[in-house]
Amino acid sequence: MTKLQKIFLFCFLLVLAGLVYMEATKPQPVNWFPSYSKKDKIPLGTYVLFDLLKNSFNEKLVEKDIPPFEVLQNSTLKGTYFFVNNSLDFDKTELDSLLNWAEKGNTVFVSANYFSDKLLDTLNLETSTEVNVEKIGTEPLLKLVNKKFDSQKPFHIKKDLAVRYFSEIDTVSQTVLGVSGAYIDALEIKEPRVNFIKIPMGEGQFLLHLQPEIFSNYFLLSEENAQHTSQVLAYINDGKTLYWDNYYKSGKRLDISPLRVLLNNKYFKWAYYFVLIGVLLFIIFEGRRKQRSIPIVQPLTNKTYEYTRTIAGMYLDKKENHLIAQKQIALFMEFVRTRLRVPTEKINERFYKAVAERSGNTQEDTLKLFTFIEKVNNQSNTTQEELLKLYQEIKEFKNKTDGKS
């Protein structure tokens, strides 16, 4: 290699090192994904809110990681079930469970930008989005109507976000608790839109809220906005147990560890810990070199597959084909929202086209699948053949999606 070539090589490596350094030290872009997970410290996570609630409720704050339908099988639960996410799509079985639970004197608090049609139809509600034509972007303004919480000026979210509101409510039985509007040129809500209502339900109530961003890290850490969040939460701070939902979260973590089954059972968990302690003691006291062969320790077997087969068999033995089909459909809708990033509150031609383009399926196949899903959803009973067909079609649809990615 000549001297000139060495100089060129050195300059090239120097430039490459500079580029690597610049790439490694540049600030990361802000992640605005609407996670609403208690573990996320991103702007739209709920790490700050959960920490505040934990300090306020102490032992009366209980986390729930399973579907509400399974949680409410325990008839002894009393208090408030707290849901917050960008969208909430309860299936019919879960919605009926929540309604029945509220009628027994409990509170269901739901905050989201998008509710399922089943929830809106059941409660005779309609929602819409305010569009600001006077300026680019829509920044929400929020306030409560109760004079006890009435502030001199509305609370302002200085971020381009959707201003969702209830366009139709039952004014006879439903009470307006809060309003919203779009910021134009002053901190004043010129045309108040209903975004927070109370719905009596037997001896209990439903509280529906349409601006979940007020529970996010971004809102709580901005100026004095935490005051508005505390005022909203005052409607549920009745000294009873607060059940925090971790299941309906866009940013929830999926536990795929093979130790999940062991660590979820306290007896298996402590047995596992004793095995680890025993191995550690063996290493300490018996780890010295000896003139004998080293024994082979067989690893623990993974029982996840057998466990899954047992749970699936319980459903099949009860012939609850329709319930299994609804769960498959709910999981598939969650797949569409989280994997394909397509909202599911409105299913129309635009929805079919977006799903087809992002999944790699044809629009005809997509329409055929969702037509069959709608048929299964609307019927009261599902045969085993229909259940198997639903499983196969969803599986083929996801396989084409994985093939595209």
Beta-strand pair 114-115/204-209: unpaired
Q: What are phi and psi of 4, to 5 degrees?
A: -65, -40
Six token digits for residue 347: 């299913």
Write down the pLDDT at residue 320.
Answer: 78
DSSP 8-state symbol, 234: T
pLDDT digits (tens, 9 = 90+) for 130-156: 887 777 788 899 999 988 876 668 999
Longest CA–CA separation in the chain, Å: 91
DSSP 8-state symbol, 123: T
Confidence of residue 312 (pLDDT cuts 50, 70, 90): low
Q: What is the mean pLDDT of residues 281-289?
A: 70
pLDDT digits (tens, 9 = 90+) for 351-390: 889 888 888 888 888 898 899 988 988 888 888 888 888 8
pLDDT at 254 over 60: no
pLDDT digits (tens, 9 = 90+) for 166-201: 999 988 899 999 999 998 888 888 889 999 999 999
Distance (Å, whole) CA 209 – CA 221: 20
Write down the pLDDT at residue 282.
Answer: 78
Q: Within a 10 A sphere around the Cβ of 116, how many other Cβ atoms?
A: 21
Distance (Å, whole) CA 163 – CA 45: 19
pLDDT at 290 over 60: no
Q: Which amino acid is at 18?
A: G
